[in-house]
Amino acid sequence: MRLTEFFDRGEFVVTAEVGPPKGFHIEHLVEEANEFLKGRVHAVNVTDNQSSVMRLGSLATCKVLKDNGLNTIFQVTCRDRNRIALQSDILSAALLGIDNLLLLTGDHTTLGDHPQAKPVFDLDSVSLTHAVKRMEEGFDIAGNAIDGEFPKFSKGAVVSPCSDSVDAQLAKMEQKVKAGVEYFQTQGVYEPEKFIKFMDKAKQFGVPVQLGIIIPKNVGMVRYMNANVAGVHVPDDMIEELKADKEKTKAGITGVEISARIIKECKDYCQGVHIMALGWESKIPAILDQAGL
């Protein structure tokens, strides 16, 4: 089901992200999705060779999850395919009954496990959105007619509300909306004040925004993110909180508490939440419970 239908109904839309393995057995992924996500989230994002690390494909994984009764979001990056392959995969997604897309530029190849690979970036998040919109209108990006029924998706994109160049992010967000983006998922937020300020400006675009949550697992992880992950900043008091009770943090209880607290503080300012558990999918139900979702 298309995510926009949930937003239109005024629901607080919950999504969670899963990453395919480096191999073709996904029994474990499916089991976890069935156990922890089914019935709790509106849709499951499947990442596309996340962080430029080669893995099982997003589209195939979406299909298997769909066959298991989960609504999915096919993440598509512009790093590995030119416009011909991208549009072809979008048509394949329509064939397989995938209703939602998340359209991204993608990390550079040098950040992953194949740094020698050719970075493609023939299109980017904006021109890819434009391409999908054209296809929905019956034409490919070169202007050739599409046969038969035109594909139709909910087209999503990402934005970084706590980025140090938030004004440039807002400008890009506006470009994405103009190109046809219908919902946004944000980068991980640890500073509710910044997010609320961002939403104050972003609401003018009239497009639903899902607050991004990355469950903080331990001090090492958040320090790493602070040093290396764009648009993510974990404040010192939160690092102290993770430090305070090592056992509690190790058991994931602190991470769940922090995540739920951020959701509660931001809930009234946005239209949904997107949880990036990075392997801690089992904690998602507890977060949603504590956040009252």
Q: Report the run of H or E that residue 58 belongs to, with start and end.
A: helix 58-67
Packing angle of the helix pair 166-179, 125-136 (nearest 10 deg): 20
Q: How far is the CB of 262 from other proteins (least distance, A)?
A: 20
Q: What's the closest the beta carbon of residue 51 comes to other proteins, in angstroms?
A: 11
Q: Do residues 205 and 179 make contact, with C-beta atoms less than 8 angstroms apart? A: no
Among residues 26 and 214, whose Cβ is nearest to other proteins? 214
Instruction: Tell me how far, at minimum, the Cβ of 49 lies from other proteins, in Å.
Output: 15
Q: Which is nearer to other proteins, 113 or 164 (CB)?
A: 164
SS3 197: helix
Interface residue list for other proteins (CB under 8 A): 83, 105, 107-108, 110-111, 119, 121-127, 129-131, 141, 158-160, 163-165, 167-169, 171-172, 174-175, 178-179, 187, 228-231
Closest by alpha carbon to 65, among 82, 51, 47, 83?
47
Query: Between residues 144 and 228, which has the closer beta carbon with respect to other proteins?
Result: 228
Specify the residue, 77 or 254, whose C-beta has the smaller distance to other proteins.
Answer: 77
- State both tokens at 186: 């944000």
Minimum distance of other proteins from residue 130's CB (angstroms): 4
Q: Which residues of 180-214 are buried (b: 16+ CB within 10 A; e: fewer)?
A: bbbbbbbbbbbbbebbbebbeebeebebbbbbbbb
Residue with smaller CB distance to other proteins, 36 or 184? 184
CB of 131 to other proteins, least distance (A): 8
Q: Across 109-218, where does the E strand assignment appear?
A: 154-159, 183-188, 209-214
- Residue 1 or residue 111: which is nearer to other proteins going by CB? 111
CB of 96 to other proteins, least distance (A): 26
The C-alpha atoms of residue 204 and residue 201 are separated, in whole angstroms, by 6
Burial of 281 (0-12, 13-18, 19+ CB in 10 A): buried
